[in-house]
A and B are shown apart, each in its own frame.
Chain A
Amino acid sequence: MAHELTHDDAHGHDEHGHLPFLAHHFEDPEQQFDAGKFGMWMFLVTEVLFFSGMFCAYALYRSLHPEVWTFASQFLNEILGAFNTIVLLFSSLTMAWAVRCAQKHQRTGLIVCLTLTLACAAIFLGVKAVEYTHKWDIGLLPAGSYVPQFIMANQHHEGISPWLIRLSILPALCVIGFGGWYGWSVMNKRKYAAQIAGPLLITSLCYFLGVGIGIAFQNAEASNHAVEHHAEEHAEGEHQHEEEGHGEDAGYHQENEAGSDHALAASTEEHAPSVAGELLVEENVSLVSTPADRLKAVPITMVDQPGGAGLFFSIYYMMTGIHALHIIGGIIALTWLLVRAVRDDFNELYFGPVDYVGLYWHLVDLIWIYLFPLLYLIT
């Protein structure tokens, strides 16, 4: 009991001598906490308004060209999106739990919760890296560089993307650095250094865990497509599948084959410019499976171009990219918290920094809660 900090201590004694965390311009720890918290909410307001600019661009473009969104959204992998959503939700749970640990002065619990939050952030970024680099490989780029998916030859990529390797250089350096630091601190019995280096090593390894999970999901989907493709080739005659892949599965495709092929052939003839018509060779369009009825209103060739789907990807990269930058900012803030948690800075009267970073982290989660259905789940 004697070493415990109580609320009365702050008032009763010479404040600044007893409470090293209390800044001298505050009456007591509660006032300090409330002031910080109010400031944090103000910052979150500016964050909401900042993101609202991008949501406004989204709403404007989607309301004017809904067909572009239904077309382009199919290139996003919703399984990876859903997985990342759950990872972020879990990180929000561990963050809220970390605040609870700080409020109850549970040092070990706080370190564990912060580590889990950092690990989830790294997994999120790893999955995101796989998503991004896959899109860069096949030309799903912002408006200026967008490669039409149904007209140009499909740049299908085998193996690991060179972009992914480039993006992974920094995390790899982190693994080496933190691994070395952790090994050094364990060998020299530096307990506190090990408690910082260990979680950071786990975090950098979790980026690669995320990359692995992302590639696994992506390959699963690719092999699904391959199975579809195979089934089609068996079911069909030679020449009919120029715009292949109308069904989500092979069975659906076989049943509807005659009708939808006919409709698509007609639409290609009607709407495709002559250049596009020449480029449409049998093999080059094996990327997407699109229910034909989805696109009946506007021909693909009108949408599948830099000014159409390319603009969708501009908005997609801007929104998810800024969000990913916020995740990286959160990782830096969480690392700072981790160092202070190891130093045992937080207690019942001083847990403000954990709470503030927590608020920020939940806001980043909040934005993803909206981004996920708005970008990935358009049908």
Chain B
Amino acid sequence: MSESTNSVADTSSHEEHHGFAHPMPVWQLLAVFFALVGLTLLTVWQATLDLGSAELWVSLLIATIKASLVILFFMHMIHDKPLNAIVFISAFVFVALFIGFTLMDALQNRDVLEFKEVPPANPPVATSPANVP
């Protein structure tokens, strides 16, 4: 125990020149946390408003801001290698493709086929079997 306390005292003075770690400052962690709590309260409050069809997009926007805060600061992406960021962000590109194309297809689907009215080239010949003597 005493040894670890020692090393805490030793390292706290020169954290920048030391190793490859980027310890997040405490104030930054706390600021991000309180911002996230604020945004949570905001999203709960906006759910009580009647925004119609915009509601889904507003709540998704707030969720995305929260997600960005978590990714950038809690997940240290702001200090991370660009390759890691590209890899992770690319996942969301594929998710967008996946959900986007599925919805595009689903919203075009019809229970009943709709035939377009095409003017007949020749007058139709009535050959219904019932009419044939």
Contact = CB atoms under 8 A, between A and B. Distances in A.
Are chains A and B native binding partners rather than an unrelated pairing? Answer: yes
A106 interface: yes
Contacts of A355: 76
Interface residues of B, number: 62
B7 A93 contact: no
Interface string A350-379: 010001001100110110011011100111
Interface stretch (B97-105, B114-122, B124-132): B97-105
A374 B59 contact: yes
Interface residues of A, number: 65
B114 to A, nearest CB: 18
A78 B83 CA distance: 38
A52 B94 CA distance: 9
Contacts of A358: 74-75
Interface stretch (A96-104, A118-126, A295-303): A96-104
B84 A38 contact: yes
A92 interface: yes
Given A6-B19, A89-B40, A103-B23, A348 B74 contact: no
A38 B88 CA distance: 10
B72 to A, nearest CB: 11
A78 B46 CA distance: 13
A349 interface: yes
A60 B102 contact: yes
Contact of A86 (B20, B26, B40, B107): B40
A4 B7 contact: yes
Given A52-B95, A351-B21, A377-B47, A4 B10 contact: yes
Interface in B29-50: 29-30, 32-33, 36-37, 40-41, 43-44, 47-48, 50
A138 interface: no
Given A42-B87, A86-B37, A105 B11 contact: yes
A52 B96 CA distance: 9
Contacts of B41: 82
A282 to B, nearest CB: 31
Interface in B41-94: 41, 43-44, 47-48, 50, 55, 59-60, 62-63, 66-67, 70-71, 73-76, 80-81, 83-84, 87-88, 90-92, 94
Contact of B60 (A7, A373, A378): A373
Contacts of B98: 49, 52, 56
A41 interface: yes
A302 B42 CA distance: 33
A96 B106 contact: no
B63 A59 contact: no
A45 B88 contact: yes
Interface in A59-98: 59-60, 63-64, 78, 82, 85-86, 89-90, 92-93, 95-97
By Cβ-Cβ distance, the 3 closest A-B pairs, closest first, are A377-B47, A103-B21, A373-B59
Given A7-B18, A42-B87, 10 more contacts: A4-B11, A6-B19, A34-B81, A48-B95, A49-B98, A82-B40, A93-B32, A96-B24, A362-B75, A377-B59
19 contacts: A3-B3, A6-B18, A48-B92, A49-B91, A78-B44, A82-B44, A95-B74, A97-B29, A100-B26, A104-B8, A105-B7, A107-B4, A109-B8, A348-B11, A363-B75, A369-B66, A372-B40, A373-B47, A379-B48
